[in-house]
Chains A and B, each alone.
Chain A
């Protein structure tokens, strides 16, 4: 455009200001639409490293705020059995055709970290623990919710029995489907946090996490690991499958 104007010097004097105005206007409009596009599509802003850093710092801040909001004595609402959602939705990071099958006979729960008695637990030993039941609402990070009935042993009872250091910060879980997650000790000791073996009064079917699922009604669904093979108590932040990808770690309800 500039070259053309320079050549036609006769035209420039009259036309240049007008063209400059148009160019300026075009530039402004382009700037505006790019800005709006970046805002709305999120493509540019979410790929920005600085933005990512700020968002993840805010997520850590929200972890600490949620830990303060968490009341160890506040109980999640328990529903009548008539409120149970059937069929209860299946949910995992993979499809239903990839559900892991764990063999009952050879199963052994491994314990490690800040735990005094680390002998592995067989299923008959786990089933012999004191039992409790709950009908509570499972809330998914996606927004949907469903009510289910889970039965098992209070996690606090189990942690005390194996001599876990309950002053430690985290309990981590490793699962047969390569899923992993971790929760804060305060939540682990909550009276409704159950190490469950049954769903709707039946032995946990594979799609709901055979042989063992941690039910945490005070946290979002992805903080409720299924197919638990090993657990450990630690003071080192263990992260999790979804948490390491950017989902909020505490994710308390």
Chain B
């Protein structure tokens, strides 16, 4: 699946194709399942948070899912399977196929800062959608990490007796609640920036459905 992206040299003398495949099928499917799972987990999680807020604020009830604490918990503990199993499929694929290595690495702090500044000036190039810039790489690696922390801190809250060694890593039950909330906040922040960026460069949206993007080399030979 991945080979289609990285083999422009098979037909050396032919003109470049108009379309190139930039998102493998596995990535597209897991992306949309993940988007759905995160929406459920975050909005039901907000309702659960409201039952016993850690800090002096509540999430507006209209933004939450579940209707009441019991409903929110049932959504949360149902969708956790979707999020986790889908995440495992994505991670296994990303590592085994070399997708992560090819698309997300390398990423250096310097390049990230440079690309973020470029983006803020509105000068970041998007000609070739098959290559992620450093800001994108950092964001995508960041949300993967945030979701891994969310899942583990969530398990630590769910099973603070049976898996108390895991809970201890997060500073105990109360510590795990804070970490879980913080990882949620990071996830939501990255998702918001991601959605804004897609709105600013709308042609990236269909590529995550069809997998194809216009070849930047097309018509140039």
Which A residues form the contact surface with B (CB < 8 A)?
A: 39-43, 45-47, 54-56, 58-59, 62, 69-71, 74-77, 137, 139-145, 217-218, 242, 245-248, 252-253
Also in contact, A143 and B177, with CB within 8 A (given A55-B78, A62-B77, A70-B162): yes
Task: For A246, list chain B residues within 8 Å (CB).
Answer: 70-71, 74
Q: Which residue of B49, B66, B77, B164 contacts A143 across the interface (Cβ within 8 Å)?
A: B49
| Inter-chain contacts of A144 with B (CB < 8 A) | 52
B-chain residues with CB within 8 Å of residue A141 when the two chains form the complex: 51, 69, 73
Pairwise interchain contact B78-A74, C-beta atoms closer than 8 A: no
Is B173 in contact with A145, judged by CB distance below 8 angstroms? yes
- Kindly supply a per-residue 1/0 record for chain B positions 46-78, scoring 1 wherever the CB is within 8 Å of any chain A CB and 0 otherwise: 011101101000000011111101111111011
Contacts A137-B173, A252-B159, A253-B159; A242 near B62 (Cβ below 8 A) = no
A77 contact set on B, CB distance < 8 A: 161, 164
CB pair A142–B69 under 8 Å, yes or no, is yes
Q: Assess whether B149 is interfacial by the CB under 8 Å rule.
A: no
B71 A252 Cβ-Cβ under 8 A: no
Output the nearest chain B residue to A71 by Cβ-Cβ distance: B162
Q: Does B39 contact A (CB under 8 A)?
A: yes
What are 23 A-to-B residue pairs whose CB atoms are below 8 Å? A41-B64, A42-B47, A42-B64, A42-B66, A46-B65, A46-B66, A55-B71, A58-B78, A59-B77, A69-B159, A76-B161, A140-B52, A142-B51, A143-B49, A144-B52, A218-B161, A218-B162, A242-B70, A246-B70, A246-B74, A247-B70, A248-B73, A253-B159
Q: A40, B51: Cβ atoms under 8 Å? A: no
B75: A residues at CB distance < 8 A: 42, 55
Set of chain A residues within 8 Å of B66, measured between Cβ atoms: 42, 46
Find A55's partner among B63, B74, B161 (CB 8 Å cutoff): B74
Q: Name the distance in Å between A28's Cβ and chain B's nearest Cβ.
A: 15
Q: How many Å from the CB of B167 to the closest CB on chain A?
A: 9
- Known contacts A41-B62, A43-B67, A74-B161: does B174 contact A145 (CB below 8 Å)? yes
Contact A56 B74 (CB under 8 A): yes
B73 shortest CB reach to chain A, Å: 7
The answer to whether B39 touches A69, judged by C-beta atoms less than 8 angstroms apart, is no
- B27-51 interface code vs A (CB 8 A; 1 in, 0 out): 0000000000001000110011101
Contacts A58-B77, A252-B162 known; 5 new A-B pairs at CB < 8 A: A42-B75, A45-B65, A46-B71, A143-B49, A253-B161
- Considering the chains assembled together, what is the distance between the CA atoms of A137 and B175 in angstroms? 14
A139 touching B173 in the complex, CB below 8 Å, given contacts A39-B43, A56-B74, A69-B159: yes
A39→B48 CA distance, assembly (Å): 16
Determine the chain B residues whose CB is within 8 A of the CB of A140 once the complex forms: 52
A245 and B70 in contact, given A39-B39, A42-B64, A42-B65 (Cβ under 8 angstroms):
yes
A62 to B80, CA, bound (A): 11
Task: Point out the residues of chain A lying under 8 angstroms from B67, CB to CB.
Answer: 42-43, 46-47
